Chain A
């Protein structure tokens, strides 16, 4: 049996859940979905790709709580140490996956991009290397977003359900307080036809000027990778990727961005991707339509000048 931990947000099942369900179906050993939530009826009806859904419907899961989720998932799956358990390589999955590995005492394979006959493939070193591992017996696979097509798992239906009890006692050490929505930015990078996106290759804040000039000529917005935001050179509302925004412009210019999986997650669906990166091995070139290894400090001003 393959188990899939369903991730959802605001009553909506996340894409990663359907991607895992589709893969679990293809693995051919039967699929059980595990759903922790509050008011889960509508969600169960979307889990037709599973043979069975173990549902823990409890007000305690109205919001994610790492401790409650780990304890409950561990209790539900405690007898399943011989099975394969799929969990998303997401902010929530990064608590539940290792939590299950520790409590069930079974291995965890992270950053999983493929699973076939006891061989699990992971993406390491910022996407620069792939690793194949031989795993026997039960294990947890922490699955990368976008690794498997979601459509195969998006099946309506009314799978059999089994109710589970939440492990939430008064002695929980972690308490959920509130959800905080991101501050709206001056521009909405999800609504742009063209994004001039800049990464750590730009070296310092002053150099941002050259991408801003290019963006202005193109009537485009400047977006960026995470380090630019962590350095406080641009606001969070400009960040593309896993913990930033998903964008789908007609043209995405990736300038000095290596193409780490967390960045790719946010821009892989852009129509045309043009990458400027001096490292010919940068993973961004695997996703780009056009690429150049010329120095960004030469190419970017030259583009601006020609426009």
Chain B
């Protein structure tokens, strides 16, 4: 079984987000990036299938210049068999439509049975990737997936709705799935193991082409949302704040 996992680096939201001079995008220069958390789940879902029934796991990422090598080495250290960097004009923000086209061009040559992506990323503006990618690849799609079982030429897949309801589907392979959560917490890999992977892993480079594909609209302004009323901020020491919170709770008659 061939499983391809697409991952990307996104800004770490723990950091303060600054705008660029034209106020249309983030200033990426000082930002810290990390792998989209749902992509970590997609990789974990692939590795769980590999552990259970054997699979060749390939991780692909567009080369957006944002520390992607580190992410690919970490994937190799966790158990990916092959890591591929898709080179081309992918610096800065890449629209989901362009990413889908570029990735599809590369992934279609890998004859995958399963293509996994994270369900969404914090910087998606023109849609989540999985479904767009499925269309480019001519595959069926299911997104918001929390469980996958592969049985020969089909997979049984669980999709999450609101309120914790789950829909179960059977789908013919190959399929593209948007992963919300793997069945297990994504495995941890110690830094020493990543360092070893850096020595023993070759990152393959394949050029990608997104010509003609884009969001189809233009960002005119990015800004910190006006906060409406906003909260009354409690000041003083932690102890003062705690005392005020106790007062507030008691005043609500609970």
Contact = CB atoms under 8 A, between A and B. Distances in A.
Interface of A: 9, 63-67, 90-92, 94-95, 97-99, 101-103, 106-111, 119-120, 122-136, 139, 142, 173-182, 193-194, 218, 227, 230-232, 236-237, 239, 242-246, 250-251, 253, 258, 271-275, 279, 281, 283, 285-295, 298-299, 302-303, 305-307
A177 B170 contact: yes
Contact of A106 (B171, B216, B244): B216
Give the interface size class of chain B. 35 or more
Contacts of A131: 125, 219, 221-222
B30 interface: no
A128 B168 contact: no
A101 B132 contact: yes
Q: Is the interface of B mostly helix, strand, loop or mixed?
A: mixed
Interface in B131-186: 131-132, 135-136, 140-144, 156, 158-172, 175, 178, 180-181, 185
Q: Specify which of A65, A237, A251 lies most central, judged by the most chain B CB atoms within 10 Å of its CB.
A: A251
Q: Chain B CB within 10 Å — which of A98, A139, A176, A253 has the most?
A: A98
Interface stretch (B63-71, B79-87, B199-207, B226-234): B226-234
Which of A108, A275, A279 is the most central at the interface, judged by chain B CB atoms within 10 Å of its CB? Answer: A108
A95 B165 contact: no
Contacts of A175: 169-171
A288 B164 contact: no
B220 interface: yes
A258 B13 contact: yes
A305 B254 CA distance: 17
Contacts of A136: 217
B168 A173 contact: no
B159 A124 contact: no
A220 to B, nearest CB: 8
B217 A94 contact: no
11 contacts: A103-B135, A110-B124, A124-B122, A128-B225, A129-B222, A132-B219, A175-B171, A237-B164, A250-B252, A286-B231, A292-B241
A63 B167 CA distance: 9
B100 to A, nearest CB: 8
B216 to A, nearest CB: 3
Nearest to A177: B168
A218 B159 CA distance: 36
Given A108-B127, A302-B242, A231 B163 contact: no
B225 A130 contact: yes
B181 A271 contact: no
A110 B131 contact: no
Given A129-B225, A291-B234, 7 more contacts: A98-B96, A98-B127, A128-B17, A129-B26, A179-B166, A245-B164, A274-B249
A38 to B, nearest CB: 15
Contact of B131 (A99, A132, A139, A306): A99
Contact of A272 (B140, B160, B234, B252): B252
